[in-house]
Each structure stands twice: as C-alpha cells, then as structure tokens.
Amino acid sequence: MTNITTVNLTNGVPTGPAGASTASTIDNLIAVGSPTKDGVTGAMATVAQFHNADDQALPGTANGVLQGGVAQLVNVRGNLDRQRATGADQIPGQGVVTGAAQFAQEFIATSTTTVAAAAATATLAIANTSGFKVGGTLNFEPGTANYEPARITAVVLNTSVAVAFATGGALFTHTQPYAVQTFLFNQERDFSGEGPMAQGIGAAIASEFASNSGGPPLSTGLASNWTLDADRNIQGKNNQQMAVTSTVAGAATIQFTNNPWINGLVIGQPLILSATASGAAIEEVIVSKNNTPAVGAGPVTVNLVNPIVNNASLFATYDAFGLNVPTAGASPLGTEDTLVWLNDPNATDPKRPLFALGRARGSSGAADVRSGGNSSSLNVTADTVIKGTPGRAIRIIVNTVTAVAPITINDVATTGAAAAANAILTIPTATAIGTVYNIDWPCLAGIVAKFGTATGALAIAFD
C-alpha cells in the first residue's frame, strides 16, 4: 500500500513524520482541493466556499456541497440569491420567496436609452428613479409584446439605472422612450398597525373594488381592461375641474393650464374630459404612475395610461378630497354601493349627476319617496302647464275654495291636450281650503292644471 504517512501526535498535535517538532495542524497534511467522497454513490464533490453573496452563478458541474443551511432562490437571471428575513419595508424583490406575506408596490418610469437586442447589460437614463433598487427586477415595456425582465445592478439617483439580462442578453430591441417598471415589497399589516387612517402600504388591496366592465376604450375600440375602480367614501367624491390645452387624439399626455397636483390630483386618478365646463363627458383617461407630483405654477404636463381618443377636449374633471358632502353633484367614478346616491336627470352638469341621499328638500339628492318635491308652482288659478316634460306630480294643496266646475290635473304637455282620458286627479267644486292631495304620480308626457271655467287657487309640488 502506498501514500501512507505515519504521524506522531502529542496531545493531538502532530510532531511530524520523522519525529521532528512542528506547529503544523492536521489540516496541513490535507492537500488543498482534496475531494469529498459520497459514501453511498462514490461521487466526488469539491468542498467550496459557502454561498455568501447574491446573484451568484453556480458552476455547471454536479455534486457541489453547500456548507450552510440558508435557502437559495433563483432570480430573473437564473442565478441564486439568499432568502431574506422580514422586518423592513421598501425592500427589493431580491431573496423574497414567492408567496411570502409581502405585497408588491408598483413603480413606473420612462427610459430614454435605446437597448439593442442581445445586449448583456445596459445603463438606462431615467429621470425619476424612485422605487428602483439594486437587486430588484426592472421590467421593460410592461403590457407590450416587448416585455422582458432584467436585474438592477446599480442606481444613480434620478439619473440612471444599470441592469443585467439573463444569459443570451436582451430578447428585444427597446427603442426610447419607453416605460420601465419595478416593484418594492412591503410587509402585511394588521389593523392595529394601521389604524383608521392608512396610506395602504402593506395592505392587501385594502379598498373594495367594483368592475366598470372593461375600462375606458382605446382608439381601436377595444377595452383598455382597466376594469376595476376603487370605491370612494363621501369625502373622496368632491369635484375638481381644471382647464387643459385642447387635446389631440393619440397623445399619451395631457397639459393642464394650472398645476393639478396642488388641486387634489393623485396618481392613478381617472379624468373625465369635456369640451366645456358643464358639457357632457367625451371620454375618460387615467393618470399614469409615471408622474412625479410637484408644487409650483402651471402649465403642467401629466402622463396618461391610455392615449387620448378624441380631439378638442378643453376641461378635465376628477374626484378630489373635501371636508364635506359634494355640493355640485358627483361623478359616477368609483361610486360605492354602500352609500345611496340619487341620479338627477336634470343636473346642470351631466358629468356630475349624482347626489347623496339626505340633502335638503328642494334640491337634488332628496329621494323620490319623500313627502315634498324638487319644484313647485304657487297660486295656480287658471289653465297652466306645470311641467312640459315628463315628471312627477307630488302634492296639490287647495288655497282658495273651488267653485263653478271641477279642476283636473292631467298627464299632458299642453293645456289644449287636457281631457278626461288623461286626467290623474279631479278636484270637485266646493273643495275646502287646506285640502291636501298627496298623489305622487308619474306623468309620462307632462303636468297640466286644467281649470276651464272653474275658480280657485292651488299650490302644486312636483318633480
């Protein structure tokens, strides 16, 4: 048998093969790179340094031995990251286990650097690097056919983001300008950690959402698929309207005459566009996350999620925070079904036809089942068109004793059309002062008081 060395030990310390004294340890007798043998399969493995860094590329050979117990997670480049412990917010996706109780917060920016297909790395010029962190994933052109991920390797604040692609390089050419996306992860909160007021960080969709059936359409006519609107509470239904530069079809931005950010606009907010301040809605667009709210005077350009479809809109209307109930009506955007809103078909602004139930009688927002009406005609003493369009006759009060002939209330639009066939109420002669008729009757053509030769005086409430 060969290659056997006899070593003398004194209290466990080797004294050398020939008995000569030495300070060597037993490790010195083991050659560097000596293999470890699997006692079952006979496979030989190299004892390598523990993987104590991120984004490591393991060698292609099999039978490596990891000397630690920390889980290794595959990242977007196919390399390994160490798993992270919880305890902090705003951490990149590096080392976060799929399915862990961490919630992704999206950030979107614009890159002004063209990247060629097959590029292994790239440094992207990005003016707003908020949310982009080393170790995270940067997604190129999200929502398009050119979507692909890369790993963030360096960030220069509000200047650039460097990335590395998986083996083989970039799959597509990305021609500037284009959108880039990243996510940061936040710990989930319980209610005691947030309280009754919260920013939503670490909340798993803390707001109730309702479908709007496809979202505002694109210029092609296809749905944009921005189909979920977050419910607003009543304070979030106050209105803000601002002038904009005449819109151009296909534009992905909109220019406000003044600064909307200091007038309640928030990222992700839908905008209703119209040609006049109190005109009908022309279309809806959505404020992109690729914006940086700032103070100061206008004009201010705002990036949009969905490009503008129609030319010549001059006003943008949106929901904003307010201390009280909306006073000028509310838009239908994100109107929650837990609060009763009543539609006023005669609202002065058709974009804002909703009024909260419980407003004072005589104004929009009072329910149709209430005892009064939105409008009234007083001292009606002769043939009178109370309302020439469809409405509702609510209450009639006799203020002077009727005489000579009966008086009728008719469902017609003109006094000449009143007849027995369309009468909804007949007030007999000699009806006493103070007599009240609560009829609450829907009139499909109009509301007319027909006196003919009769005398008397009526007060009529109607909608």
Same domain, 273 and 233: yes
At 325, is the secondary structure helix, strand, or coil? coil
Residue among 105, 74, 108 nearest 90 (CA): 105
Tokens 């992704």: give the residue.
Answer: 104
Summarize the confidence of residues 89-107 as an average pLDDT: 74
Task: Classify residue 36: in a domain, yes or no.
Answer: no
Answer whether residue 410 is part of any domain. yes
Residue 80 lies in a domain: yes
Domain boundary among 319, 338, 367: 367
Residue 203: C-alpha distances to residues 6, 185, 197, 287, 379 (Å): 68, 11, 12, 22, 60
> Looking at the structure, do residues 251 and 352 belong to the same domain, yes or no?
yes
Query: pLDDT tier at 45 (50, 70, 90 boundaries)?
Result: low
3-state secondary structure of 193: helix
Using CA atoms, how far apart are residues 285 and 215, in angstroms rounded to an integer? Answer: 9
User: What does 51-100 look like in DSSP terms, one character per residue?
Assistant: --SSSB---S-S--B--S---EEE-TTS-EEEPPPS--SSB-STTPPTTS
177 shares a domain with 77? yes
What letter represents residue 221's amino acid? G
How many domains does the structure of the chain reveal? 3
Most confident listed range (72-76, 228-232, 380-384): 380-384
- 16 part of a folded domain: no
Let me know if residue 42 belongs to a domain.
no
DSSP string, 5-41: ----EETTEE--TTS------GGGGSPTT--EE-TTT
Please determine, for residue 192, whether its predicted confidence score (pLDDT) is greater than 70: no
Task: For residues 279 and 330, state if they share a domain.
Answer: yes
Same domain for 410 and 352: no
Assess whether pLDDT exceeds 80 at residue 142.
Answer: yes
Residues 272 and 353 in one domain: yes
Closest CA to 144 of 113, 176, 178: 178
Same domain as 254, residue 353: yes
Task: For residues 233 and 362, state if they share a domain.
Answer: yes
Q: Are residues 94 and 156 in the same domain?
A: yes
**158 domain residue, yes or no:** yes
- CA 66 vs CA 39, 74, 77, 439: distances in Å: 17, 15, 21, 87
Point out the least confidently predicted range of 63-67, 161-165, 268-272, 446-450: 63-67
Question: Of 176, 206, 236, at which residue does a domain stop?
Answer: 206
Do 434 and 376 touch, CB atoms closer than 8 A?
A: no
- pLDDT mean across residues, the chain: 80
Instruction: Let me know whether 234 and 347 are in one domain.
Output: yes
Does residue 4 fall inside a structural domain?
no
Asked, for residue 216, whether it belongs to a domain, the answer is no
Residue that wins the pLDDT comparison between 156 and 95: 156
The residue out of 175, 206, 237 marking a domain boundary is 206
Residue 3 pLDDT grade (very low, low, confident, very high; cuts 50, 70, 90): low
Q: Are residues 290 and 346 in the same domain?
A: yes
Give me the sign of the Cα torsion angle 29, 33, 37, 38: positive
The identity of residue 448, as a single letter, is V
Q: Assess whether 383 and 318 both reside in one domain.
A: no
Q: How far apart are CA 399 and CA 393, in angstroms?
A: 17
> Which pLDDT tens digit goes with each residue over 194-251?
555 555 665 665 567 777 777 888 888 888 777 777 777 777 788 889 999 999 999 9
**Residue 442 belongs to domain spanning:** 375-462
CA-to-CA distance for 82 and 202, rounded, in angstroms? 23
Q: How confident is the model at residue 369 (pLDDT cuts 50, 70, 90)?
A: very low
